[in-house]
C-alpha cells in the first residue's frame, strides 16, 4: 500500500526537525526499500496499490518488471485494503497480503510466515507496536473487517480482531513490528541500520549519508540552527 511521495504530505510528523523536502526524500527511501524487501520474497507476486490514481507512472519507474500496479483512490485505508485485496483474490490468487510502505526493516521471514499461516488460518495480522497492524493476510474478503474501524488510532488491531471474532474467523498473529512515524521511530531505525548487513536497506542508508548533519541522537525534535 503506497502513496506517491509528495512534499508537504509525507512524514509530516517528522517536521521539524526534518524540512518537508527532507521528509519526502526519507519516505521515498523507505518506500523503495520496502519494495525491494517484498521483491526478494520467493514464490510470491508483487503488487502495489498506489495513490493517487494517476501515480502509476511514477511507480512503474521504481518497481521491478512484472509488478502489478493497482491505482486506487479511497476515502480511507480500510476501503483501500478491501478493494485491493479483493481485486487480487478476484484475479485468481488464493491468498493475498498487504503491508505498509514505511517499515522496510521488517524481517522477510515474517512475510513468509504470514503466507504459511494462511494454510491453516483464515486471517493473519502483523501487529504494529502503535496498536495498528503492519500486515494483513486473508483468503476471502469480509467487509466487516474494513468498516467501522477507527483508522490511524491505537484501536485498529483490537477492533479488527473483535470484528474477526464476531465472524468466527481463525486468526494468526505475527510478532509485533514498528512503523517509522515519530522522531523516536526515526532514531530507532537509524540505530537498527547500524546493526544490519551493509548491503540491506541501501536507499535508507543513502538518505542518512546525505543528511548526516541531522541531530539523530536526540530523543525529542528541536529546532535546527
Start-to-end CA span in the chain (Å): 36
Q: What domains sit in the chain, N to C, each tagged with a CATH number?
A: 2-210 (3.90.550.10)
pLDDT exceeds cutoff 60 at 221: no
Give the residue from 22, 58, 86 showing the smallest Cα distance to 221: 22
CA distance 16 to 66: 38
- The one-character DSSP state at 175 is P
Whether pTM exceeds 0.75? yes
* Under 8 Å between Cβ of 4 and 59: yes
H or E element: which one contains 26? helix 20-39
Give the residue from 116, 106, 115, 224 showing the smallest Cα distance to 175: 106
What are the tens digits of pLDDT across the range 82-115?
Answer: 999 999 999 999 999 999 999 999 999 999 999 9
What are the tens digits of pLDDT across the range 176-210?
Answer: 999 999 999 999 999 999 999 999 999 999 999 99
Amino acid at each position: 500500500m503506497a502513496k506517491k511521495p509528495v512534499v508537504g504530505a509525507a512524514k509530516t510528523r517528522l517536521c521539524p526537525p526534518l524540512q518537508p523536502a527532507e521528509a519526502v526524500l526519507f519516505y521515498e527511501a523507505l518506500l523503495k526499500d520496502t519494495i525491494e524487501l517484498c521483491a526478494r520474497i520467493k514464490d510470491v507476486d508483487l503488487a502495489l496499490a498506489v495513490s493517487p490514481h494517476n501515480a502509476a507512472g511514477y511507480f512503474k519507474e521504481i518497481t521491478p518488471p512484472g509488478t502489478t500496479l493497482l491505482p486506487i483512490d479511497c476515502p480511507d485505508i480500510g476501503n483501500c485494503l478491501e478493494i485491493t485485496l479483493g481485486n487480487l483474490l478476484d484475479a485468481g490468487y488464493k491468498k493475498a497480503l498487504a503491508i505498509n510502505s514505511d517499515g522496510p526493516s521488517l524481517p522477510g521471514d515474517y512475510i513468509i510466515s504470514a503466507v504459511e499461516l494462511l494454510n491453516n488460518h483464515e486471517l493473519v495480522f502483523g501487529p504494529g507496536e502503535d496498536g495498528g497492524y503492519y500486515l494483513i493476510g486473508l483468503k476471502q474478503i469480509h467487509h466487516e473487517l474494513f468498516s467501522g474501524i477507527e483508522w490511524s488510532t491505537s484501536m485498529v488491531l483490537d477492533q479488527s480482531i473483535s470484528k474477526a471474532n464476531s465472524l468466527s474467523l481463525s486468526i494468526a498473529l505475527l510478532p509485533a513490528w514498528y512503523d517509522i512515524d515519530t522522531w523516536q521511530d526515526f532514531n530507532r531505525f537509524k540505530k537498527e541500520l547500524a546493526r544490519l548487513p551493509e548491503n540491506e536497506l541501501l536507499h535508507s542508508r543513502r538518505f542518512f549519508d546525505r543528511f548526516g548533519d541531522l541531530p539523530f541522537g536526540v530523543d525529542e525534535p528541536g529546532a535546527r540552527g
